Each structure stands twice: as C-alpha cells, then as structure tokens.
Amino acid sequence: MNPLNKHDLEIVATKGRLLGLDMVFGCASGHLGGSYSSMDILATLYFNVMRNLNTEDTTANNRDRFVMSKGHCTPGLYPVLAQRGFFLEDALETFRHVDGHMSGHAEMCHVSGVDMSTGSLGQGFSVAVGMAMAGKMSNEDYRVYALLGDGELAEGQIWEACMSASKYKLDNLCAIVDVNGLQIDGKTSDVMPTEPLDKKFEAFGFHVLKIDGHNYDEIEAAFEKAKENKNAPTVILANTVKGKGVSFMEHNPGWHGKPPNEEQYKQAREEILAKLTALEGQNNG
C-alpha cells in the first residue's frame, strides 16, 4: 500500500484513540495512558514503515516484525491492526470479554497480525532480539521493531537483551522507547530513575535517536535513519505525553490502567470525536 501523508496518519491515530476508548469502556478494564502516548508511533509503523505486511498471510517470512514489549498497551495496538486490515473493527468489541479472543495483553495465537504474545514486562524485547538474530543467521532482510515503556526499562532483562543486540551487531533491530515519564505508581524519575537514557543506551552499543513522539516528520525520519545505520542496533527515544488526546488524561499517572466512568467516557469521546471530525472535514473541504 502507498504510504500515508501526515494528515491521514493523524486520522488513523485519532480514530485509534477513539476505538481504544470504546474498547476499555466496554469491558471496564484496560490501559489507555500508554496506549495513547504511543498511538502516533504505531500508526506510522504500520502504515508507512513496516514492509511486506500481508493481512492474508500474517506469517510471511519476508515481513517486518513488531513486538509490543509493553504488552498491556493493546488499546493502542489492536485499533491500528484493525485499521490496517488484519481484522474487522467489530472484533474490538470483544476486548477482554470471556467469550472473545481480544485479550488485554498482546496475544499472537488468536489476534491476527500480532507477532508475539507479551505482557510480562522486559521479556518482549528479548524476543525481538531473538527475531533479529534469527534474521541475521538466515540471511533474511526483514527488520524487527519493538516498543518499550520507559517504566519497563527498570527490568534487568532489558539490559541483558541490549548486550546481546550490541554483541551481534543487530542493525536489523530498532527499539522504540515511549518516554512519557510516567508509570503506574507515578513518575519514573521517582519510582526507579533510568535517565540519562541516551547515555545508557550508547554505553550498551546502541545508535541513539531522540525525537518528539507525536511529530510525524520526526518519527518517519528516525525510522529512515535506523534503516541506514549499520553494524549496531538502534533505539529511538520518543518523548511523548501519557494519555495524549484527552485533556484530563494527559500527564496523569492515574490513567495508566483504569477505565473511565460514564461521565469521563462521554467527555473523552466528545474530545476525540471533535478532533476526528475536524480532520476528516479537512479531507472534504
């Protein structure tokens, strides 16, 4: 498919936030904050960056892979997969329902387009390293992308995986860290400080890029630079806003993993829908 322009990417991301909101409200459970902060990155990845995606053959060997290492952010991932055509949007209505397959954490056996089941923080990135290593060993040219949370970086397994990625010069691996500064218990700087992230990743042998994670030009440019980088893995440190797109959720750690009540749902939906309507109106103007 042809890549989308910035305007259409913003439509995908905004609609994704709306769908994610409906998912979480519908089952009274889910993680909106980190899903919303990463939505612009996910939209860009699936519509403009990842190659050879085939909604009819989701195991095609030449496809680029994506691992949602912060596996609880399915209200971000699933709406983007639906819009990309991996399954019908109606399936999102079964999110976290006992009689459905849209589980709260990324699930590869029943959700089309998911490359790895994740949820236990830290483990997804190790799998991504393994995928990239397998590609090198089999002389395949696919790339592997992994999205991590900045709170997730407190897991020691992340840094073990970084050592392996650097040792084996996995230039087909690109990590993206959603640096929104918050996690379930508050600021990452208070819970378990991990800064300076750029210096840490550089010390582990990574090519480091720093961007605004809501600026589509910067997001796409970073992914292009990652492709050009050779003999070392790349990490993109994306500065984002947790809860992006809903006024009362933005910068608020309380919205890490709780559903809105009816009044909050109504307000959030009105805010997102107003933006979506304006964006779609620009297409018709």
Domain span including residue 60: 6-284
Residue type (1 letter), 27: C
Asked if residue 111 is part of any domain, the answer here is yes
> Rg (Cα) of the chain, in Å, rounded?
18
Query: Residue 187 pLDDT > 70, yes or no?
Result: yes
Non-local (6+) Cβ contacts of 199 within 8 A are: none
Total domains in the chain come to 1
Largest Cα–Cα separation, the chain: 54
Structure confidence at residue 274 (pLDDT): 98
Q: For residue range 228-265, list pLDDT tens digits in order.
A: 999 999 999 999 999 999 999 999 999 999 999 999 99
pLDDT, average across residues 202-226 = 98
pLDDT of res. 2: 87
Helices (H), the chain: 6-27, 33-44, 74-84, 123-137, 156-167, 188-191, 197-203, 216-228, 262-284
In a domain, 183, yes or no: yes
Q: What average pLDDT does this structure show over 47-68?
A: 96
Those residues with Cβ within 8 angstroms of residue 87's Cβ, 6 or more apart along the chain or in another chain: 81, 111, 112, 113
Using CA atoms, how far apart are residues 174 and 189, in angstroms rounded to an integer?
Answer: 24
DSSP H/E element including 237: strand 234-239
Pairing verdict, β 186-187 and 182-183: antiparallel
Q: Which of 271, 256, 273 is nearest to 72 (CA)?
A: 256
Q: In the Cβ-directed half-sphere of 149, how many Cα atoms lie within 13 Å?
A: 31
Please give the pLDDT value at position 90: 96
Predicted confidence at residue 1, as pLDDT, reads 78
Strand 173-179 vs strand 144-149: parallel, antiparallel, or unpaired?
parallel
3-state secondary structure of 4: coil
177, containing H or E segment: strand 173-179
Residue 1 within any structural domain of the chain: no
pLDDT score at 26: 96
- Those residues whose C-beta lies under 8 Å from the C-beta of residue 117, and which sit 6 or more positions away, are 71, 105, 106, 107, 108, 109
pTM of the predicted protein model: 0.96
pLDDT for 285: 55
Q: Is pLDDT above 90 for 44?
A: yes
Please answer whether residues 80 and 43 qualify as being in contact, where contact means their C-beta atoms are separated by less than 8 angstroms.
yes
Q: State the average pLDDT over residues 144-167.
A: 97
Q: Which of 130, 188, 194 is nearest to 156 (CA)?
A: 194
On average, the pLDDT of the chain sits at 96
Q: Check which CATH number belongs to the domain holding 88 and give it.
A: 3.40.50.970
69-118 confidence digits (pLDDT tens): 999 999 999 999 999 999 999 999 999 998 888 999 999 999 999 999 99
For residue 166, the one-letter residue type is S
Which residue's structure tokens are 């395949």? 140
Asked if residue 176 is part of any domain, the answer here is: yes
Q: Which residues contact 220 (CB under 8 A, 6 or more apart)?
A: 44, 48, 49
Look at residue 282 in the predicted model and tell me its pLDDT. Answer: 87
Give the amino acid at 18.
L
Query: pLDDT tier at 201 (50, 70, 90 boundaries)?
Result: very high
